[in-house]
Structure 1
């Protein structure tokens, strides 16, 4: 059950959920001057994409089952692809 709860934080659903929660909290999508925290501390309360590095990329390591870890890694790859696309669109 714990793996299933964590799995919802990843992949396309997790991506949508991250931005939904950030919007509800009044957070920005990213820091305007340093969107990928290259020269600042991560702050996932203020910037949605910081949450990827702070928490989401690490969830696969916390899965209790082998199958959960495999599926979580696949879903983390979806988040990583999104981040690469975002970097391209922002010119990084």
Structure 2
């Protein structure tokens, strides 16, 4: 199958499965990551096919919902249906399995330029106005409080603690979102993250004023 047909076929699968998903890991998130990653791949001169496929399926079988074993099994099965080159499959699998922040307990280190680009694009969509919206969407899905001033941000010692956290959504800014700016891999990602990071800081400042009834 031609490369472009592979991309379009996988795009259709992802769109059908993730359209209407309500946690912020929906088709529109995937499409934003896909478009950002393609633009970054052009600037960084990366392998476009690897970037496009990895960006499209990075959340298709998210470990948060399928577990790590389920993610490996389902992602591997999909890739083997469309891609013959075992080395390409290996690279894409490595990107997918190391893309997530996972509460800061894992290195999430990317070993290829393509992986660094897709990871940056995914992290950028967790920042700025979109990132704020997604954070509250996911918090609502997990039945978490919007904010509780009596609960301080946590530093998790392992993945299980992070997965089982009942912390409120504002804490998530300090436990993950505000840390992402300094974890960008590419110069393009770092530049884009700076503006989005500042937007979130301004949002939090305004949020606390409104919470305390000052504004």
Do both proteins adopt the same fold according to a TM-score greater than 0.5, normalized to the shorter chain? yes
1:86 is aligned to 2:210: no
Deviation at 1:46, TM superposition (A): 2.2
SS of structure 2 residue aligned to 1:49: helix
Relative CO higher for 1 or 2, CA cutoff 8 Å, sep ≥ 6?
1
2:152, 2:171 within 8 Å by CA — same for their partners in 1? no
1:64 is aligned to 2:181: no
Mark the CA change 1:19 to 1:2 in structure 2 (over 3 Å): closer, same or farther: same
Q: Pick the aligned partner of 1:28 from 128, 145, 157.
A: 145
1:45 is aligned to 2:166: yes
Q: Distance in 2 between matches of 1:59 and 1:89?
A: 26
Question: Deviations for 1:15-56, whole angstroms, at most 9, x for unmatched residues?
Answer: 00000000000000001xx26xxxx53156320000111110
Question: For structure 1, which segment, 21-30 or 63-72, has the greater mean C-alpha deviation from structure 2 after superposition?
Answer: 63-72
- In terms of fraction of residues, the more helix-rich structure is 2
Give 5+ residue unaligned stretches, structure 1: none
Deviation at 1:86, TM superposition (A): 0.8
Q: Distance in 2 between matches of 1:7 and 1:71?
A: 7
Alignment size in residue pairs: 86
Q: TM (normalized to structure 2)?
A: 0.38
Asked which structure has the greater CA Rg, the reply is 2
Deviation at 1:76, TM superposition (A): 0.9
Give 5+ residue unaligned stretches, structure 2: 1-117, 155-164
- Return structure 1 stretches of 4+ with deviation > 3 angstroms: none
Q: Distance in 2 between matches of 1:25 and 1:48?
A: 10
Mark the CA change 1:73 to 1:45 in structure 2 (over 3 Å): closer, same or farther: farther
Q: TM (normalized to structure 1)?
A: 0.84
1:5 is aligned to 2:113: no
